[in-house]
Structures are given as structure tokens and as C-alpha cells.
Structure 1
Amino acid sequence: MSATAPPVPRLHIVTGKGGTGKTTVAAALALALAGNGRRVLLVEVEGRQGIAPLFDAPPLPYQERHLTAGLDGGEIFGQAVDADEALLDYLTMFYRLGSAGRVLRKFGAIDFATTIAPGLRDILLTGKLKEAVSRTESDRMTYDAVVLDAPPTGRVVKFLNVTVESGRLAKTGPIGKHSRSVARLLHSSLTAVHLVTTPAAMPVQETVDAAAELRKADLPVGRVVLNKVAGTKTADITADQLREGLERSNLPSTAAQVAGLLTEYEANRAEIEAAGAYRDRLERLRRPIDELALLPEGVDLSGLYQLAGVLRKGLGPARRSIADAPSNPEGGGRD
């Protein structure tokens, strides 16, 4: 890597308005990043268990578990991060409580702690991400990339802005030090927050608003994914041309048949043209845009690999080996 090239993101945070397919995009992105010999961790934090069904797998546990092979030979691991389990890890790591932490959970102390200090829950969840990003085994990074299926755009900045929450909870001590360490990673160019939208007014507006909010919070905006795009722009067609085409194919070409097909064609063309207008608006964000086609039959594992192939083409230089990136997961500036 050249001296002036920015660090390759290790943490990919995928967010979007509900219904835009952010979980699907997160899973496809993990597959795209898992090139030959690369290991990628795919994480969810909202308890919805939305990732496992995409891979025809049982519900994800708190422990990291192998899910499937990547797009061309890498490995995908999955994990459902739970704040209570993360707090037990935290108590063991920093206070050496061990089994005593389990006793605290039994008596409800952990629920009490995360209830009276709600910011603590987000610190614990993002802290697990930072641990996975920075973990090493045999002198190399355990994971070449970590992909998070994040909370939706309306909540993602609050979730990621742990610097503010840590200031409310503790200015000194292990909690404060730990959360500031997490914040340095989240605000660096080793992190990319990708925005998923669909070609419709409300999702696009929420994406534009989220990009502005992320930038205001000094959080790095990554790629914009325009998902569920129906078709590509086609040439104009007349009723006569449609009738001639049906006749050449020995298909029914009655006036009613032609009128019905022409109506369907015009509706589809209007939707395609609207998608183009929304794409023009998204381009004003000055971020790379990936366009994913609508899969009419829904998304199965085969469809995920298809979407991953499209995302792989857009990633370009981001596919460099993570060995080319700095080893300090808290370093680097924003791009």
C-alpha cells in the first residue's frame, strides 16, 4: 500500500431505514469481502435473528460460529451480540469477577445496570465489535473484516456515538477508557458506515438525513447501496411494435392483450425512471453508489451470492489484503 493511501476499513457498519433490506445487504457484503483466504465476521445486535435465515442456519449464538464459505473461498462467521453477555465479558476482563458476574446476572444486577445507564448497553455492544476487529491469532488479525447489521438510520448515530455516552457515564476508570478506545475506532477511517436505501421518497430522504447526521458526528460515511431496483432503462415501445412482436412469437395479440401489456410496460418504465431520479439525488452525497437489482422470488442463499458479486465489483481497492492495513485498530484518520 502506498504511503498516502487511506487504511482499508476493517469494520463495515450497514444501516438503513426499516424495509430497505439492510440485513440482506450486510450478509451480501460479508460474502463479497470474504475473498480467498479471508475471514469475515458478520454480527447482529438487535436480537432479531435476521441473519441466520438468510443462510438457512439455526439462530446465531453469542459465540462466533461458522456460517458458510465466502464468494470465492473465504470464510463467514456469524454472531448475535447480546449486551448482558457482553457485560459479563467486560466484568471478567476488567474486574476479574469470573463466576461472580453470573451471580450478579441471576439477581438482576446486570439488567438494572443497563436500565439506569442505557448508554452502557451501546458501549458494551460496540465494544464487542472493537474486540473482534483488533483480535489477533498467530501474529495475524483473526478477522480480515467485521460487518455489522446495525440499528436503522434513525438510531445509528446515537448507537455509534459512544464518546458522548461515555462522558455521561464515566470520565475516568475502565468504562471511560474502554469507551474512548471504541470511539477512536468508530471515528477513524478503519470504519465505514454504509447506507442502504430503496428507490422511494422516504428511504432516500432518510438516507440523505442520515449521511448529514453521521458527518456532523464525525462518523465516516462509506458506500450508498440503492437496493431493490426493478429493471434497467429501456427504449420506448408503441402499441404497434408490441403487437408485431407478439405476432412474430405466435402469441395472442388482441387489442385487450396489447393494451394490458402496454400498461404494465409504462408502469415499469415509470418506476425505472423514478429510480434514476433518486439515484441522481443520492449522487449529491458524493459517496460511491452500488445498485442492487430487485430479486422477484425473494432472497435465498443463491440470491445472496448474486448480490455479493455486484458488491464485489464496487469494492475495488477495498479488497486489498488486510495485511496491507495498519495493525493499530485505533489509528488512522477519516478519508
Structure 2
Amino acid sequence: MAQSTELHVVTGKGGTGKTTVAAALAIALAGQGKKVLLCEVEGRQGIAQLFDVPPLPYEERMVAVGLGGGEVYALAIDPEAALLEYLAMYYRLGRAGKALDKFGIIDFATTIAPGVRDVLLTGKVYEAARRRDGDRFTYDAVIMDAPPTGRITRFLNVNSEVAGLAKVGPIRRQADSIMEMMRAKTTRVHLVTVLEEMPVQETIDGIAELTSERLPVGHVILNLVRPSLVSPATAEALSSGSLTASKVAKSLSKTRLDDDAAPALVEGGLAHLERQRLQDGQREILDDCGRPLVEPPLLSDAIDLGGLFELAEQLEELT
């Protein structure tokens, strides 16, 4: 019998590239010959844009083939569609469920009780991760492009979210089953950050909150890290003030370049050093977070499918 399906939850503050990392991780797993499902739960269609495919319906579709022969399927989980599926599966409502949708009751239910909405979203991930084809799980791994770090613990901790809504019954049993999966040894929550103060602080807070709820924290991915553009010797000369605008102008005149640009070059060099100093300071903070760090290289071009494969090579540690 196949082992349990791996679940990788990828979160991060908005703008840190969590969707890109989730997609690259899916490709990395497919590179090992695995069948992977990549899910998004925020309705942004970010996965479709990355893989350059039409907007994803509430249906699993193959979007890429890994270098190792594995396949990446993608699914955009819609809470209303998930609720209709839930009603059909557990209450056999069928057409009656669709009638409720026409009256706007489903939209009302998922708005007035956001905890139920999260159970529906994570519940679909649970269903996909536990689905079987014969004696094997349908997917070897499921990747969730999850909500931002600031609300990831509340989103995943569905038991507390439904505690006041459902003490017993199918929703409560569903929440219990989801929590069992979320805390399983085969689950990891990865946090994506950039080396800036607010995202790093959210990452530190997120690790603490996840740990307090016994949710398994995986890796911290340091995304979009800018490499140093100057040599150590040049950095030292700029820092000490020995590399002045007049010296730069003199060097420029020898190369027939405009020596009037010298002050701007020195100013830009000092600004670059300051950015590097701030970046290094945030990295030192994360060095003490207690979780392994992964630092993929900065890709110079806009991310396309080729860029995802390149990034996937750097995320093999997560697999």
C-alpha cells in the first residue's frame, strides 16, 4: 500500500512570492516522478498565470510535466463550489444544493461563518490528499498555496474556528479529520519571506503561532535576496570614504566615460551597501528562528515556466 500523501503548505506575506515558490516546489516534486496536485485557495488565479494556462475551474487539470516524468495538476478551490460538493457528498442534496446557491444562501453561509469557509477550503485539500485509486493514493504530494502568514494559523487550525459553530455532526468530524492531517508527520508548513523588516517579523510570529498550535513548521525560504554588486575591496573603500567622487571621476576620464556621473555612482554604491547591511541584519534574525533556511538565487527575468523549472532545482531540499 502506498505511503500517505505529502502535504506542503506554502505561506508568506503578500509580495514575497509564495505562489511562485509553491509552483516551483510542485515542479521539484514532479521532477522526482511524483504525481502532484497544486491548490490555491484565495481565488487569485495566480497558478494559471504562472503556468500560462486559462483560468482554472473547480476541476483538477494537468499544467506541467516534471523532468523526472511526474505530473503537476492544478486546482483553484472555490468555497461556494466546495460547499455544493460537501452538501452532495454528506447530505445527498444534489439539485437542492444548487437551488440554495440560486437564493444566495451559500454565499451568505460562507460570509457569516468564515470558520466554515476555511473548513470547506481545507476540506477539499483533505479530500484530494486522502483520495485513492485502488490501493494507492491518487497524488503523491499536495501543495497548498495558502493565505498570508498573518492568518495562516487561524486558517489551518479549523478545530478552533468551528468550535462555536459545530460541537458534533459532519462539520465537526470533518474539522477533526483535517486537523489530524495538518498535524501529521507527512505535513509541513513552509514560510516564504523577503529580507525586509515587516515580512521577517511576520515570519517569526508565524513560526511561534504555528508551533503553539502543534502545526509542523518546515523550511523558511528567503526569496528575492539581492546579491552584492561590489567586491569586498570596493565595499571597504566606499565604507571608509577612501573611494571619493574625484577618484571615480579620474577613473572614468581614462575610459572616455562621462566623469560627471561620478557623484551619482558613489551615492548609488553607498545606498547599495546600506541595503545589503539591512538585508544581512534580517538574515541574522532568521538564523535564530530554529528552522532551516533555503535561499534560492534571484532570477533576473520575469518568472515564466522556464524560470519555475530553474527555481525548482533550488528547492529540492524541501522535498
Local SS of the residue matching 2:278: helix
Q: Specify which of 37, 44, 66 is matched with residue 41 of structure 1.
A: 37
Q: Are 2:219 and 1:215 equivalent residues in the alignment?
A: no
Give me the whole-angstrom Cα distance separating, in 2, the residues matched to 1:115 and 1:254: 62
Q: In structure 2, the residue corresponding to 1:225 is in which secondary structure?
A: strand
The alpha carbon displacement at 1:71 in A equals 4.5
Q: Name the structure 1 match of 2:240.
A: none
Alpha-carbon separation, structure 2, partners of 1:130 and 1:136: 12
> Percent identical across equivalent pairs?
51
Assess, with a 3 A threshold, how the Cα gap between structure 1 residues 73 and 246 changes in structure 2: closer, same or farther.
Answer: farther
Amino acid at match of 1:76: V
- Determine whether 1:123 maps to 2:86: no
From 169, 193, 207, the counterpart of 2:189 = 193
TM score, norm. by length of structure 2: 0.88
User: In the TM superposition, what are the counterparts of 1:1-335 in structure 2 within 5 Å?
Assistant: 10-232=6-228, 234-237=231-234, 238=237, 239=243, 251-253=255-257, 255-312=259-316, 314-315=317-318, 318=319
In structure 1, give the amino acid aligned to 2:39. Answer: V
RMSD: 2.4
When residues 13 and 252 of structure 1 are mapped into structure 2, their CA distance, relative to the original with a 3 A threshold, is farther
Whole-angstrom distance in 2 between the partners of 1:242 and 1:293: 30
Distance 1:243 1:74 in 2: 56
Shift of 1:9: 7.2
Q: CA deviation at 1:112?
A: 2.7
Q: Aligned AA for 2:115? A: G
Cα distance, 1:162 vs structure 2: 0.6
**Partners in 2 of 1:215 and 1:23 — Cα distance?**
23
Deviation, 1:145, is 0.9
Q: 2: distance between equivalents of 1:294 and 1:8?
A: 34
Aligned length: 307
Pair 1:293–1:9, CA change in 2 (3 A): farther
CA gap 1:44/1:251 in 2 versus in 1, 3 angstroms: farther
The amino acid across from 2:211 in the alignment is: R
Contact 1:71–1:309 (Cα < 8 Å) also in 2: no
Equivalent residue letter for 2:69: G
2:50 maps to a residue whose letter is L
Deviation at 1:189, TM superposition (A): 2.3
Counterpart amino acid of residue 97 in structure 1: L
Contact 1:154-1:210 within 8 A present in 2 as well: yes
Distance 1:301 1:25 in 2: 12
Pick which of 133-142 and 235-244 moved more. Answer: 235-244
**Offset from partner CA, 1:239-287 (integer Å, 9 cap, x none):** 599789979xx94455434554444344333323332221111121111
> Counterpart amino acid of 1:90?
Y
SS of equivalent to 1:236: helix
Shift of 1:48: 1.0
Bigger drift between 191-200 and 102-111 goes to 102-111
User: Quick one: structure 1 residues 299 and 244, their matched pair in 2 at CA, closer, same or farther if it must change by over 3 Å?
Assistant: farther
Judge which range, 117-126 or 250-259, deviates more: 250-259
| TM-score of the pair, normalised by structure 1 | 0.84
Q: Secondary structure at the match of 1:229?
A: coil
Query: Contact 2:221–2:295 (CA<8 Å) still a contact in 1?
Result: yes
Contact 1:166 1:180 in 2 (8 A): no
* CA pair 224-255 structure 1, distance change in 2 beyond 3 A: same
Q: Matched residues in 2 for 1:261 and 1:138: separation?
A: 65
- Are the aligned partners of 2:50 and 2:304 in contact in 1 as well (CA < 8 Å)? yes
1:185 CA drift (Å): 0.7
Q: Secondary structure at the residue paired with 1:192?
A: strand
Aligned partners of 1:27 and 1:51 also within 8 Å: yes
Unaligned runs of 5+ in 1: 1-6, 319-335
Write the distance in 1 (CA, Å) between the matches of 2:66 and 2:27.
5
